[in-house]
Amino acid sequence: MKIEEFNNAIKTKIAGGYLFREDKDNYGNLSAWITLQDKKDIETIAKTVKAYKGRCVVATGYKNEDKEGHTVIYHFDIDGTLINVELFTENETIVSITPILPSANWAERELREMYAVEPIGHPNKDRLFLDYSIAKGVLNEYISLSKMQLGVSDTDILWNNVKKECKV
């Protein structure tokens, strides 16, 4: 699958608009970065990934420093090509894509447990790691080791630097 083909497949289906950029790493591996204007459009992305027989690899969550809320980045794989889809949630909810792509199950449960970002419609309410006596979103209250050492990771600082390095 070519990234341009994926972009053409979502072009007319994304209701809220999006930003699209392509990147190539030092080894020649292509990836796409998509920033959704409307977080509900993640369902359209998930359906398109499924149509291409892709999967959700992982999701990254972090609290924004400059505005209230979290950014969530889903990382999808389609035949070795990474499609990274970024969305913002100011009310700490996202639409679950696990009913579409079961491979998103653990990633969305981790977002709920660690950052208190609730995947609405997720079929499994069980925790993955933490005891029920520990509050949801516990990572929002602590400074990560990587942030202490480098000043990055659980905020948008790291991702802003990644975006700067992406070739448009």
pLDDT of residue 145: 47
- Domains (ranges, CATH) in the chain? 3-161 (3.30.460.80)
- Average pLDDT of 145-158? 53
Q: To the nearest whole percent, how much of the chain has pLDDT over 90? A: 59
Question: Average per-residue pLDDT in the chain?
Answer: 85
**CA 116 distance to own-chain centroid:** 15
Q: For the ranges 18-22, 104-108, 159-163, which has the lowest average pLDDT?
A: 159-163
pTM attached to this predicted model: 0.80
Which tens digit of pLDDT belongs to each residue from 85-101?
Answer: 999 999 999 999 999 99
Which tens digit of pLDDT belongs to each residue from 56-81?
Answer: 999 998 888 777 889 999 999 999 99
